[in-house]
Structure 1
Amino acid sequence: MPERIEQQYIVPEELSGLRVDQAAAQLFGDFSRERLKAWIGEGALTLDGETVKPRAKVLRGQLLTLSAELEPAGDWEAQDIALEILFEDEELLVIDKPAGLVVHPAAGNPDGTLLNALLHHLPEQIQLARAGIVHRLDKDTSGLMVVAKSLLAQRSLIEQLKDRSVSREYDAVVVGTPISGGRVDAPIGRHPRDRKRQAVVAGGKPAVTHYRVVERYRAHALVRCKLETGRTHQIRVHMAHRQLPLVGDPVYGGRLKFPAGASEVLKERLRGFSRQALHARRLSIRHPASGETLRFEASPPADLQDLIAALLEDAGIV
């Protein structure tokens, strides 16, 4: 049965003079602008009890009232796709996403995604925007993701992502042997010539990545990256910008490189690693209901562990 929404807000001074749809977007932050506009048009979102057009202006002290049923947010199909669930309660779901799983349906990937799997596990997720998904990992990046199970959780997690209080750390194997870590503060936007790629560009969105060296091998290194922002392909772009591209990255990685005299085992592992060597290892969030800080960790998957083992052996560390 669809969830019934009953909410009211008095228009504050700072929103006086805005259009109804603009004020509603700020006050009813759990819902998308498109959904709010639809409710205004249907008369489910009223101003002082009256049905108005989205462009009508609001004044301080007026009452915005929402009385609506939360209908499905999309027409996606539930599919029985296995999920590795590390934590679940009434508000949250934390999963360890495998490499190769697309997060959200899109052109070229209409189904078989994490979203489809979520709807099979929790059919009621259909009522939440993007089925509760508030952040993404690239298809071939493995590791930790948090999913909202309620409007409260969705709003809280989106705010935590905006104010950068969510802590996300990634393991990455890079080509190169940096002496120490560092901070990459470089704006990211669409590549000027290849619209499918991201790049460090003037006028791009602010992007900051911190990284430190965990292990150095003969021609590669294991680094731990911490995101301050969350731009598309951020770690992949920033590490390539530092001349430390990720092993296996088909977009930003450059040509395959072997250490001098590399063993056949290492060559085979490097040749066979056809995805970016990136894993979301640690995640820290504030619980939307209790306010408790929750911390999660997921070990790298077998392919990344095998690659690291071969690099360790080649370097004589084990």
Structure 2
Amino acid sequence: MKPFAYARAATVEEAAELYAAHPGARYLGGGTNLMDLMKLGVEEPATLVDVSRLPLDTVDELPDGSVRIGATVRNSDLAAHPTVRDRYSVLSQALLSGASGQLRNAATTGGNLLQRTRCPYFQDTGKPCNKRAPGSGCGARDGVHRDHAVLGHSPGCIATNPSDMAVALAALDAGVELFGADGPRTVPAAEFHRLPGDRPEQDTEIRPGELVTGVVLPSASAGLPSLYRKARDRASYAFALASVAVVLSVEDGVVRHAGVAFGGLAHRPWRARHAEQALLGAAPTTAAFERAVDLELAAAEPLRDNAYKVRLARGLAVDVLERLAPPGSS
């Protein structure tokens, strides 16, 4: 690990100022991903701006009924929070399916959103990787890519986003609050992460120096039936081969609200807009669920060794939809 400077911010304004004053800086929250990447030589920040003690560690209900989650709320605390468990259960389920209890005790809401891909070519500085070293190529495309993307990838990158939490946030229509030199702004969670295109090194829509300050869960999705399912190589402490978060409401025998997002399939949580559109107004039947999911996954472009992900994601999504709205029960 190379030497680096350290500064601790007391306010979000001070954090932005410290970042701007130190070229090559990185924000430090829980450090569960950043410190690992520094040890591997993937990240080499000149300065760490510690934001872990900013007053952003609460979960608050807002006047309009939405819920704001501070960026430094720990994943374990968020998963156990009564409001989250009762009103946004898919988020609690997603958090509990990720990492270990020890890591969840350290990881933060903002850090979870900003964690980088676990692609082994990205993490190995001796291998080509356009995300780590733009222009060096994508070693995974012709190499080992069983765990890689089947949706939204590009010739330059086939990595997947590792976050479980972000998949649930996308399905819930959450917003990500940011603060930078130009002041505060909010980005929809489903659009916060980027597809790789020809700039795979840029993971998110964050502007230079911006800090994640919180996440807002809308009142419209509060209390709706929801579920998260994840398939992985082992029962715990593993990233998703495929996952799905669904928020579903059925009234008078038809689907009135559908929020569907896939994880493990793309460079970002994949919001299934085509499937959602097909579900709205449809009766909750197995055939309707299968048609909607197939419509979404028709865009998949699997590689040599990961076509199984399409079938896996289809099975997960149909199963979750059937659990939330059992066919024939309406």
- Is the TM-score greater than 0.5? no
- Class of the TM-score when normalised by the shorter of the 2 chains: under 0.3
Q: Give TM-score scaled by structure 2 length.
A: 0.27
Rg (Cα) greater in structure: 1
Larger relative contact order (Cα-Cα within 8 Å, sequence gap ≥ 6):
2
Q: Give TM-score scaled by structure 1 length.
A: 0.27
Q: Which protein has the bigger strand share? A: 1
